[in-house]
Amino acid sequence: MASEQAQLRVFLRAIEHEVQALGGAPMTAARVACIDAAYQQLMSAYTCLRNARDQAETAPSEPAGGASTLDDLLATRD
């Protein structure tokens, strides 16, 4: 799980870099749509992570369906 958390931190830093790069760029309709879509997806991911944390705090520890890596967890979504 530590590896997945490290991957997530790297991904979040990459997102932060891209957001900062938008600083001086003109806001086209396509860019606004992209930012809105990214915001919606990040809010969904945040809600999912928050709910998982809340469940972990209230329930005894149990394996996440046998998934051992982030890739395994993502594969179960499909």
What are the tens digits of pLDDT across the range 39-57? 999 999 999 989 998 888 8
- How many residues belong to the chain? 78
CB 35 within 8 A of CB 22: yes
Average pLDDT over residues 3-28: 85
CA distances from 50 to 2, 10, 29, 56, 57 (A): 17, 19, 31, 10, 11
- Specify whether the CB–CB gap between 31 and 25 falls below 8 A: yes
Say what the pLDDT of residue 5 is: 84
* Confidence at 15, pLDDT banded by 50, 70, 90: confident
- Output the pTM of the full model: 0.56
Question: What is the average pLDDT across 28-45?
Answer: 90
Q: Where are the domains of the chain?
A: 7-55
